[in-house]
Structure 1
Amino acid sequence: MSGRPADTTLPWRGIGYVGVGAPDPAAWRTFATEVCGLVPAQVLPGPRPRGVPEPAPEARGIAPDGSLYLKMDARQWRIAVHPAEEPGLRYVGLELPGSGDVSRALDRLSAHGIEIRAGSEEECTARGVGHLAILNDPAGHRLELFATPLEDGEPDPSRGVGFLTGGLGMGHVVLFVSDLEGALDFYLRVLGFRRSDYMTFGPDASIHFLRCTPRHHSIALLKVGPASGLQHLMLEMRTLDQVGLALDRALAASIPIRSGLGRHRNDGTVSFYMQGPSGFDVEIGWDGRLVGDDWVDHEFTGEGDLWGHHGLTAESLESGED
Structure 2
Amino acid sequence: MTLHDAPPVFGAVRLGYVVIETNRFADWRRFGTDAIGMHHDALSRHLMRFRLDDRECRFLVRRGPAEDVVATGWHLDDHAAFERIEARLRAHGVPVTAGTDEEEALRGVERLLRFPGPKGITQEICTTPVKSAEPLRMLASGFVTGDGGMGHIALTSTKPAETRRYFHTVFDARLTDYIDETISGIKVKIRFLRVNERHHSIAIAAARGGLPIDPVRTRVQHLNIQAATLDDVAQSYQRVHELGFDMALSVGQHTNDKELSYYARTPSGFEWEVGWNPVVVDESTWEPTTHQGISIWGHLPVGRTIIGKLAQFQAGARSLGRPESTVPPLSGAGAGSAPFRR
TM-score (norm 2): 0.78
Residue in 2 aligned with 1:96? 76
Specify which of 194, 203, 216 is matched with residue 220 of structure 1. 203
Structure 2 unaligned regions, length at least 5: 1-5, 208-212, 320-342
Q: What amino acid is aligned across from residue 255 of structure 2 in structure 1?
A: R
Q: What amino acid is aligned across from residue 269 of structure 1 in structure 2?
A: E
Specify which of 288, 297, 303 is matched with residue 297 of structure 1. 288
Q: What amino acid is aligned across from residue 142 of structure 1 in structure 2?
A: T
Q: What amino acid is aligned across from residue 199 of structure 2 in structure 1?
A: H
Deviates more, 1:233-242 or 1:130-139: 130-139
Residue in 1 aligned with 2:37? 37
Residue in 1 aligned with 2:326? none
Deviation at 1:307, TM superposition (A): 0.9
Distance 1:156 1:127, change over 3 A: closer
Mapping for residues 50-69 of structure 1, pairs under 5 Å: 61-69=41-49
Structure 1 unaligned regions, length at least 5: 1-5, 41-60
Residue in 2 aligned with 1:22? 22
| Pair 1:245 & 2:260 matched | no
Residue in 2 aligned with 1:50? none
Q: What amino acid is aligned across from residue 288 of structure 2 in structure 1?
A: D
| Pair 1:286 & 2:276 matched | yes
Distance 1:72 1:192, change over 3 A: same
Residue in 2 aligned with 1:51? none
Q: What amino acid is aligned across from residue 250 of structure 1 in structure 2?
A: V
Q: What amino acid is aligned across from residue 117 of structure 1 in structure 2?
A: T
Distance 1:146 1:265, change over 3 A: same
- Supply the distance in 1 between the matched residues of 2:42 and 2:232 (Cα, whole angstroms): 26
Deviations 1:38-65 (A, max 9, x none): 011xxxxxxxxxxxxxxxxxxxx22235
Residue in 2 aligned with 1:232? 222
- Supply the distance in 1 between the matched residues of 2:174 and 2:236 (Cα, whole angstroms): 31
- Supply the distance in 1 between the matched residues of 2:160 and 2:282 (Cα, whole angstroms): 25
Distance 1:101 1:309, change over 3 A: same
Deviations 1:233-278 (A, max 9, x none): 1111111111111111111112211111110010100011111111
Deviation at 1:288, TM superposition (A): 0.9
Q: Is the 8 A contact 2:12 2:81 kept in 1?
A: no
Distance 1:240 1:99, change over 3 A: same
- Supply the distance in 2 between the matched residues of 1:158 and 1:144 (Cα, whole angstroms): 27
- Supply the distance in 1 between the matched residues of 2:196 and 2:135 (Cα, whole angstroms): 25
Residue in 1 aligned with 2:100? 120
Over aligned residues, Cα RMSD in angstroms?
2.7
Specify which of 76, 81, 92 is matched with residue 61 of structure 2. 81
Deviation at 1:189, TM superposition (A): 3.4
Percent identity, aligned pairs only? 29
Tell me how many residue pairs correspond in the alignment: 294
Deviations 1:103-126 (A, max 9, x none): 221002222333333333343233
Q: What amino acid is aligned across from residue 197 of structure 2 in structure 1?
A: P
Query: Structure 1 or 2: larger helix share?
Result: 2
For residue 83 of structure 2, give the secondary structure of its aligned residue in structure 1: helix
Specify which of 199, 213, 224 is matched with residue 179 of structure 2. 199
For residue 220 of structure 2, give the secondary structure of its aligned residue in structure 1: strand
For residue 106 of structure 2, give the secondary structure of its aligned residue in structure 1: helix
For residue 110 of structure 2, give the secondary structure of its aligned residue in structure 1: strand
Distance 1:150 1:158, change over 3 A: closer
Residue in 2 aligned with 1:210? 193
Specify which of 120, 131, 143 is matched with residue 163 of structure 1. 143
Residue in 1 aligned with 2:252? 262
Deviations 1:78-108 (A, max 9, x none): 1111111230111000110122321221002
- Supply the distance in 1 between the matched residues of 2:195 and 2:269 (Cα, whole angstroms): 27
Residue in 1 aligned with 2:210? none
For residue 213 of structure 1, give the secondary structure of its aligned residue in structure 2: coil
Specify which of 162, 167, 170 is matched with residue 182 of structure 1. 162
For residue 214 of structure 1, give the secondary structure of its aligned residue in structure 2: coil
Mapping for residues 299-314 of structure 1, pairs under 5 Å: 299-301=290-292, 303-311=293-301
Distance 1:206 1:113, change over 3 A: farther
